[in-house]
Structure 1
Amino acid sequence: MTTRRAFLASLLAAGTAPHMGWAAAGNPAFLAAAKERDDSFALYGLDTEGHATFRIPLPARGHAGAGHPHRAEAVAFARRPGTFALVIDCARGQVIHRLTPPDGVQFNGHGVFADGGATLFTSEQSGTTSQGQVGIWDVEAGYTRIGSFPTGGIGPHDLRLMPDGATLAVANGGIATDPADRTKLNLDAMQPNLTYLGLSRDVIQQVTLPPGLHQNSIRHLAIRADGLVGFAMQWEGAPDSATPLLGLHRIGQEATLAAAPLADELAMQGYAGSIAFSGDRRELAITSPRGGRLHRFSDTGDFLGAVSRADICGLAPLGSGYLASDGLGGLFGIRADNRRALDRYDCAWDNHIVTL
């Protein structure tokens, strides 16, 4: 008599295993990549108390990821710029696809599912010119690559699906890099932008920064259900410049730049590593692992306060506040100016926490 386990094993060997939902992977609420104590790497699933629901080894350092909306599948992207992305069956702990961009193209660490999970979009750039492009992958056809289109800038990093399900927001960082060693080549001529693209490839709107802030690289995005976009920036200009590191924008309007008081802004050391709206969506925050700080802002850009934590970076909505991670293995909840320890692992969490 064939057991269920044997039956599933035979299907897996034949490449026809049934798709399993996230319940089969322990119902994680988040994904996070980490470097382990032995210098290996892994992808974790985390619940809302910071407990691991699964741990799957990765062949190299991960960065961000994308979780399928229905199936227990995650795409783990290599650290920018990278040439691999792994599609992982998180219920079975197995790599089921390895995505490779075309020759001369690099992944830039982020991707997003669209069309109910039928399509994957990936942030990419040319290895020689750093011109950005969005890669298109047919998920139902086994993550087959079916095309690409321009991002409207160079050095793209984060990209997110807008609430209408038909628009992508892309953070074009504006930085050209040497493909061999990631040396930044064009800091004096940077032109970062936030670009909205229809899934039909048309440019809906492009947002640029004032000339004096052209070295403020737009890197990461947070999207609220009503279409408000938060974007986090990293300053590439003269050190000790207290430039704003957070922007807010709605399609069809001008951007608002949000700054902290001078001493707080300087403490961020010109670097925002992650961004997220709070769980109640009334505010948003950015983190700086360099400065060891989290800055909270209202949804109109008013500074609300700071939380200090060494090497803090990963950030995601949790309850009415945030889930945050650090490079020391800590996971903790933040609400207003209060911090609550959740769990700690013998690892160094990477820059991002991905909400499922």
Structure 2
Amino acid sequence: MQRRHFLRTLSAASVVLAMQPMVGAAKTARLSLNSTPATLLAAWQLPGGGFQAGVLNADPAQPHLFTVQQAVDLPTRPHGLMHLQGDEYLVIARRPGDWMMRLNIRTGDASRTWQDADRQFNGHSAVNGKYVYTTETDMLGGSGVLAVRDKTTLELLDVWPTHGHDPHEMLVLPQGGLGIAEPFLLVANGGIQTHADMGRTQLNLNQMDSSLVALKPATGEVLKQWVLEDTQLSLRHMALHADGVVGIAMQAHHGNASRKNDAPVLALLSDQGLRTAPESARMKGYAGDIVATPQGFVVSCTKSNAALHVSVSGQRLAQFAATSACALAAQADRVWLGHLPASSADALELDNHWLLI
């Protein structure tokens, strides 16, 4: 794996612009957005078209600058990022993906694990005890599966069904969460069927089966499953609020443009069930990432060039202008939002996610 270190400042690739609420937006409820320095693990596309992952230093004192501290070249577009252990992190290919990479952010060492020919990576993973779980799709049947891997070696140990299509992000939730009496895995099935011969072509938009499913971490047994009434809302990325509510960022797949634009981009899951947040509507039906705040959730709405701050009960608190809003990270009431600067001809194009490190 070729490794490059960049210790220079890139003047056109701002990710820490200070942003103000749009006219008419509610107060930010003490939210601090891109206001303090941060070190982040991120993934991006270079102006020339190549892909990398690595470490960024963001400093709001220099609102048009950030520093790439470390970067590693990648074979294709990356997506999900996960802390594995110590200084080690996982970077997983965007669906349909055939690689995941273990990266040591202290030494810069990187190694790739390639996918078996009969499955594809769907861009996300979770760690629980001695195991790493990766969301995947069976290449021939098109059904969603969860691969169970050894945390140390990443060796495949088992494969379980996710009882839906297109599984995406997952969370490891504690005993008592969502009214379930034992620890469990929560998997978001995006509901979109694809086929090995057709790449990302969406085959079943009129018969989507998006759902959230709770599975036993030891066996994959289904504990509970939730669906929305609107079957064309794809449940994709998730964040857990301190009070136990899970926020889910959604992407609408309605054939009618007006219905898609008016669709909500946030759903809320609690022990009372799964519901949409109507005040998250009119954002072109597309949410890229989500993080929890003390008041609720921030959702990046990439196609609307904005980010929404929504309370845990679903009330819209604020809307922020941000070109191609994408990656989100949060610590208490501080949030870091990745986006393109006004002049982006030679800027790095961030992917959906980044992590505080």
Q: Does the aligned pair in 2 maintain the 1:327–1:350 contact within 8 Å? A: no
CA contact (8 A) 1:32 1:64 kept: no
What displacement does 1:111 show?
Answer: 0.6
Contact 1:64–1:354 (8 Å) recurs in 2: no
Q: Deviations over 1:133-154 (max 9, x none)?
A: 11111123x2211112111211
Which moved further from structure 2: 185-194 or 174-183? Answer: 174-183
Distance, in Å, in 2 between the alignment partners of 1:230 and 1:254 is 12
Q: In the TM superposition, what whole-angstrom CA distance separates every residue of 1:26-78 from its partner, at most 9, and x where no partner exists? A: xx85321011123222112245746544322222211111112x321111111
Q: Distance in 2 between matches of 1:138 and 1:314?
A: 28
Match of 2:306 among 293, 308, 325: 293
Pair 1:206-2:225 in alignment: yes
Residues in 2 aligned to 1:171 and 1:320: alpha-carbon distance in whole angstroms: 26
Partner of 1:316: 329
- Is 1:139 aligned to residue 154 of structure 2? no
Change (3 A) 1:39 1:302: same
User: Contact (CA 8 Å) 2:340, 2:347: kept in 1 or not?
Assistant: no
Deviations for 1:196-252, whole angstroms, at most 9, x for unmatched residues? 112021212111001xx10001111111344321111111012121122111112x4
Matched, 1:259 2:278: yes
Coordinate RMSD, CA, aligned? 2.4
Q: What is the match of residue 63 of structure 2?
A: none
Instruction: Please name the residue that 1:150 is paired with.
Output: 161
Letter in 1 for 2:337: A
Query: Which residue of the partner structure matches residue 333 of structure 1?
Result: none
Counterparts of 1:1-356 in structure 2, within 5 Å, are: 30-46=40-56, 49=59, 52-68=68-84, 70-96=85-111, 98-115=112-129, 118-140=130-152, 142-164=153-175, 166-179=183-196, 180-200=198-218, 201-210=220-229, 213-237=230-254, 238-241=256-259, 242-250=262-270, 252-260=271-279, 265-266=281-282, 268-278=283-293, 281-328=294-341, 346-356=347-357
Matched-pair contact (CA < 8 Å) for 1:219–1:233: yes
What secondary structure, in the 3-state scheme, does the structure 1 residue paired with 2:303 have?
A: coil
Structure 2 SS opposite 1:300: coil
Q: Distance in 2 between matches of 1:38 and 1:328?
A: 17
User: Within 2, Cα distance between the matches of 1:293 and 1:47?
Assistant: 23
Measure, in 1, the Cα distance between the counterparts of 2:322 and 2:140.
38
- Partner AA of 2:79 in structure 1: H
TM superposition score normalised by structure 1: 0.79
CA contact (8 A) 1:328 1:347 kept: no
Query: Runs of 5+ in structure 1 lacking a partner?
Result: 1-27, 331-344
Please say if residues 230 and 248 of structure 1, whose CA atoms lie closer than 8 Å, have aligned partners that are also in contact: yes
| Cα distance, 1:114 vs structure 2 | 1.3
Q: How many residues get paired? A: 303
1:245-266 Cα deviation digits (max 9, x unpaired): 111112x4212311227xxx32
In 2, Cα distance between equivalents of 1:270 and 1:110: 22
SS at match of 1:244: coil
CA positional deviation for 1:319: 4.9
Other structure's SS at 1:296 match:
strand
- 1:287 to partner: Cα distance: 1.3
Once residues 32 and 41 of structure 1 are traced to their aligned partners in structure 2, the CA distance between those partners, rounded to angstroms, is 11
- The one-letter amino acid of 1:100's match is W
* 8 Å Cα contact 1:243-1:270 kept in structure 2: yes
Q: Is the 8 A contact 2:279 2:314 kept in 1?
A: no
How far has the Cα of 1:346 moved from its partner? 3.6
Letter in 2 for 1:202: E
Contact 1:329–1:349 (CA under 8 A) maintained in structure 2: no
Identity %, equivalent residues: 28
| Equivalent position amino acid for 2:136 in 1 | E
Partner amino acid, structure 2, of 1:120: V
- Which gives a bigger RCO, structure 1 or 2 (Cα 8 Å, sep 6+)? 2
Q: Structure 2, unaligned stretches of length 5 or more?
A: 1-37, 60-65, 176-181
Structure 2 counterpart of 1:124, one-letter code: E
* C-alpha distance after superposition, 1:302-323 (max 9, x if no partner): 1112111111111121451311
Q: TM-score, normalised by structure 2?
A: 0.79
